Amino acid sequence: MNGLMMQQPLLISNLLKHAERHHGEREIVSRRAEGDLHRTSYAELAVRARRLANAIEAHGIGFGDRVATLAWNGYRHLELYYAVSGSGAVLHTLNPRLHPDQLTWIIEHAEDRMLCFDLSFLPLVEAIATRLPTVKAFVLMTDRAHMPAASKVPNLICYEELIESHEPTYEWPVFDENTASSLCYTSGTTGNPKGALYSHRSTLLHSFAAALPDALNCSAQDVILPVVPMFHVNAWGLPYVACLVGAKLVFPGPALDGKSLHDLFEAEGVTVSAGVPTVWQGLLSHVEAHGLAFSTMRRTIIGGAACPPAMLSSFQDRHDVHVIHAWGMTELSPLGTVCVLKPHQRSLTPQDRSALQAKQGRVVFGVDMKVVGPNGDALPHDGKTSGDLLVRGPWVISSYFKGEGGDPCINGWFHTGDVATIDADGFMQITDRSKDVIKSGGEWISSIDIENIAMAHPAVAMAACIAAHHSKWDERPLLVVSTRPGASATREQLLSFFEGRVAKWWIPDDVVFVDAIPLGATGKIQKNRLRDRFKLHRLPTDGP
Amino acid sequence: MNGLMMQQPLLISNLLKHAERHHGEREIVSRRAEGDLHRTSYAELAVRARRLANAIEAHGIGFGDRVATLAWNGYRHLELYYAVSGSGAVLHTLNPRLHPDQLTWIIEHAEDRMLCFDLSFLPLVEAIATRLPTVKAFVLMTDRAHMPAASKVPNLICYEELIESHEPTYEWPVFDENTASSLCYTSGTTGNPKGALYSHRSTLLHSFAAALPDALNCSAQDVILPVVPMFHVNAWGLPYVACLVGAKLVFPGPALDGKSLHDLFEAEGVTVSAGVPTVWQGLLSHVEAHGLAFSTMRRTIIGGAACPPAMLSSFQDRHDVHVIHAWGMTELSPLGTVCVLKPHQRSLTPQDRSALQAKQGRVVFGVDMKVVGPNGDALPHDGKTSGDLLVRGPWVISSYFKGEGGDPCINGWFHTGDVATIDADGFMQITDRSKDVIKSGGEWISSIDIENIAMAHPAVAMAACIAAHHSKWDERPLLVVSTRPGASATREQLLSFFEGRVAKWWIPDDVVFVDAIPLGATGKIQKNRLRDRFKLHRLPTDGP
């Protein structure tokens, strides 16, 4: 027997309709690729999204067709989020930091029919346009005044002209909530990139969960600045959450340097931001170098990579900005866990509290997780036993787009590829990526723990720990370090820094200095490149 | 094309599994019908709910069968919430304040197969047991020590024995999320009671929405005491929300007097509570008479009836307890709107802010609303034009159980029977029930506005305003008043109290004093009884 409740599918267009009807006056502020600051509102967003929906349909984009974007965080990108998914097409956000060959491969694999891109990416698109047979329409996300006089891109369409030439009346179609809404590729370190194909249902449920008080805690009071790109797992869902709660949105465009971000935070009264540690590093350096403060920012969500303890302390202790450490993946839409303390943990000593906040946190309702051993058996939640982290939930993928890479799930659980512990309070801590873990004499050493300690050394700008071959122990840790400008440290100074901070046998066997640690398109350290580079490195501890 | 996300139905059992796995140690404290205070945890709740699920299945309760409860707020009632719905049966919460004839009618109409009840209701059940042919099992929610030596109830089962005699292992079944989960009857002032049949999906979506920062704002930090009964629209969803966020739950049992509640608030560190104005009146009287304070309570959710401005001011100005005015209905699961201010409203003068907080508030995402005129056309959101309030959303009913009372929806919108305004910020204010509105010379007078002013008079304990016949104006307002113990006021004093507080033509034409205003089973004023009683009342303003 079914309940007798209204059957309303969970659709992304509902978010926009809600924001227009009930938060129409709330602002959306964008620093544009053109350089200026632009102000609009949810009411205007809704009107322009409807015009855009008419426009893309007029260009032959049908139900399920993919529309790609190469764009920074801004109001036009937001209009595409709602117009494309709302009309039943699929929004495919491309990561512009990928190599052009990878982009070409992904666009063809996704069979994108339309490509919309910011001014900054005109040279990139000009370079690859002829290699994109599936793309029937190229749209430059700017106004007539900024259109190039001539371009190598065939039939280049001006976004603002496209919008203006279509009517603002459009009825958002109602369809099955399991319909695909958006597509985001994740580039593993091996193999081809794989696409996560989200649905309207998964996106809406994720939005509810992300806005909860113990998750990102978003309300109409908030002024949200997503530093995390809209091409990176839908900016962690914030463009949807903002409509759901009626928060003001502030978009930084391409200007992600410390000064630009801090200026925008202060000018627009930003209360909450979200991004990866590498961006916060730049922001904190700027703020500290100029003796600045955060006058409205209350909290920042840090994810994408583990937040170094030194960064956590800097935000909280020196700047009174609460850090919310979070963990997720492209395959999780992305939210999995958030490190929000439980009541009995409020009375911890500052040191224990910091240690706890360094964990990735507890699941939000909807997601379940467990750690398992090599034979698949669940391991205890004791905060010590680490194993493969498995997750499941209605916003976790069941397979990749077009079935690439085989089945990522076993018995209904998605294999994250992370190695983690879970403590008795349900707080998960990533100890490593399963492929990064260092196996010394059959025991595991966490490369992340080693890196976090190294990063706390004043001379270290960035550190990566990888496994080096050892004839007795099989693998031993090798620390790769880039130093801060003007600072220096010797191999011996760095190694002695570990003493007392970690078990003796976890201390790296050697240190090598590099000019720069290689970062991938999403700001993560590319350990596979380091492993390649140092695969013949001979450890001094490995006997003659 | 569908997204490639895990297909997991939204089931009530997921809430319990989440609370057990991730908030197992969090407490559930109950004042029992037996008189003592009982402490348990989510971990134990989950074990006992599994035993109970085995038990009810062993008693022949199958998928879709109704299990009725006649119980106060307490841990056993909570176990039934999860065991009954979780196993695929339907939890039917009965309102014990209804007349026994009404209860008998409802139980038979719902075809309840099992009836579980608190000790307090043994006499009631003994009186009606022989008139309940559908009920195959009667369960007294107590332990062996409190079982009566003999009872007129046939084959009376002891709840604790039932639990103990079944295994704690039980796999919660997975089924379609649209499956009926629970049933709650609403007794209109005319006609037979009608049942709202909720689904697992509607309950889970309602739980997400209710926990949001701009709704009830519930987190693991909270200690929630639902004063609103679990037999009244699922205690506004709080038993589900608490599991979703891992909040501590405190149940008051049958002791709803001011002293018992205040003692429990203080002893258990309650941070948030929820209930109807009539209960808060008793609590505030106690607190003020004894010069007490609220040391942990941060906010209270007031709904079920409009919160009188005097009560709002008392909580906020004298006791520093923030009032969240909310509006809902049994047909809305119940949450529709919550009065949480928008940022630009924070700078209002205290007076304007109080006026705004007296409104029922803005919709939470999921619900949409509009006001329409007699011809069904949408009316402007100007805060002045009042019309019939219509709502829709995934936790709004589409029809009543067994189709009783015809179709409550027109074009997909549920007709609330309320008359309301919506202002430009989306804040809705109920001006009346459509059947309570007073139509004077073709113009509407809000009975609620008149009552709120009367309630602010120091001598008035409770006030109701109804329409009395007038030969010239058709209807004119008649004020019915009960005075506080030891206080008195004359007709003329009360009428002059309205001067300057309301348009002259809204001032009542007469006042009558009664010993007590009749209240219904859910604490609402029974205006139909007053209208019957005073239907021949002759207004002094109606010429000779």
pLDDT at B505 over 90: no
The predicted structure's pLDDT at residue B394: 98
Minimum Cα–Cα distance from B11: chain A residue: A366
Tokens 């190598």 sit on residue: A152
CA atoms of A150 and A381, how far apart (whole Å): 62
The predicted structure's pLDDT at residue B440: 85
Q: Is residue B198 within 8 Å of B184, Cβ to Cβ?
A: yes
- B131: closest CA of chain A, how far (Å): 26
A392–B contact, CB cutoff 8 A: yes
Give the SS3 label for residue B383: coil
A295–B contact, CB cutoff 8 A: no
Does the bond joining B508 to the residue before it have cis omega, within 30 degrees of 0?
Answer: no
Cβ <8 Å between A3 and B179: yes
CA atoms of A95 and A107, how far apart (whole Å): 11
Tokens 């979506």 sit on residue: B205
The predicted structure's pLDDT at residue B349: 93
Minimum Cα–Cα distance from B16: chain A residue: A365
**Active-site annotation holder among B93, B179, B186, B431:** B186
pLDDT at B441 over 90: no
The predicted structure's pLDDT at residue B188: 60
Q: Which of residues 89-128 of A touch B (CB under 8 A)?
A: 90
Give the SS3 label for residue A157: strand
Q: Is residue A56 within 8 Å of A114, Cβ to Cβ?
A: yes
CA atoms of B476 and B479, how far apart (whole Å): 10
Annotation says B342 is catalytic: no
The predicted structure's pLDDT at residue B98: 86
Cβ <8 Å between A209 and B208: yes
pLDDT at B97 over 90: no
Rounded average pLDDT over B218-246: 97
Terminal Cα distance for chain B, rounded: 76
B226–A contact, CB cutoff 8 A: no
Other beta carbons less than 10 A from residue A515's beta carbon: 6
Give the SS3 label for residue A537: coil
pLDDT band at residue B446 under the 50/70/90 scheme: confident
Cβ <8 Å between B179 and A17: no
Q: Which two tokens stand for residue B54?
A: 């085995």
Q: What angle do CA A256, A90, A255 make, to 5 degrees?
A: 10
pLDDT digits (tens, 9 = 90+) for B119-163: 999 999 999 999 999 999 999 999 999 999 999 999 999 999 999
Q: What is the pLDDT along chain A (544 residues), one digit of tens a residue?
A: 999 999 999 999 999 999 999 999 999 999 998 889 999 999 999 999 999 999 999 999 999 999 999 999 999 999 999 999 999 999 999 999 888 998 999 999 999 999 999 999 999 999 999 999 999 999 999 999 999 999 999 999 999 999 999 999 999 999 999 999 999 998 765 568 899 999 999 999 999 999 999 999 999 999 999 999 999 999 999 999 999 999 999 999 999 999 999 999 999 999 999 998 888 988 999 999 999 999 999 999 998 777 888 889 899 999 999 999 999 999 999 999 999 999 999 999 988 998 999 899 999 999 999 999 989 999 999 999 999 999 999 999 999 999 987 889 989 999 999 999 999 999 999 988 778 888 887 777 888 889 989 988 999 999 999 999 888 888 899 999 999 989 999 999 999 999 988 888 889 999 999 999 998 766 778 888 899 899 889 999 987 6
Pairwise pLDDT comparison (B504 vs B61), residue with the higher score: B61
Annotation says B439 is catalytic: yes
Cβ <8 Å between A3 and B199: yes
- A409: closest CA of chain B, how far (Å): 10
The predicted structure's pLDDT at residue A373: 92
Cβ <8 Å between B199 and A5: yes
- A341: closest CA of chain B, how far (Å): 8
Mean pLDDT score across all residues of chain B: 93
Of A2, A176, A245, the CB nearest to B180: A2
Of A1, A8, A409, the CB nearest to B394: A8
Q: Which residues of chain A does B205 touch, with a Cβ-Cβ cutoff of 8 Å? A: 10, 208
CA atoms of A138 and A152, how far apart (whole Å): 11
Separation in Å, CA B35 to CA A401, B75, B229: 59, 14, 18
Annotation says B331 is catalytic: yes
Nearest to B207 by CA among B179, B234, B186: B234
Most confident of A519-533, B64-78, B275-289, B497-511: B64-78
Q: Which of residues 433-492 of A touch B (CB under 8 A)?
A: none
Q: Which of residues 362-391 of A touch B (CB under 8 A)?
A: 362-363, 365, 368
CA atoms of B33 and B202, how far apart (whole Å): 31
B431–A contact, CB cutoff 8 A: no
Q: Which residues of chain B does A63 touch, with a Cβ-Cβ cutoff of 8 Å? A: 1
Minimum Cα–Cα distance from A409: chain B residue: B6
The predicted structure's pLDDT at residue A188: 60
The predicted structure's pLDDT at residue B522: 65
The predicted structure's pLDDT at residue B309: 85
**Active-site annotation holder among A152, A384, A439, A472:** A439
CA atoms of B98 and A132, how far apart (whole Å): 71
Q: Which two tokens stand for residue A144?
A: 């007539």
The predicted structure's pLDDT at residue B527: 87
Other beta carbons less than 10 A from residue B299's beta carbon: 18
Minimum Cα–Cα distance from B211: chain A residue: A212
Annotation says A524 is catalytic: no
Cβ <8 Å between A6 and B409: yes
Rounded average pLDDT over B371-388: 94
Of B23, B178, B394, the CB nearest to A2: B178
- Backbone torsion region of residue A353, taken as left when φ is above 0, otherwise alpha when ψ lies between -120 and 50, otherwise beta: alpha
The predicted structure's pLDDT at residue B143: 96
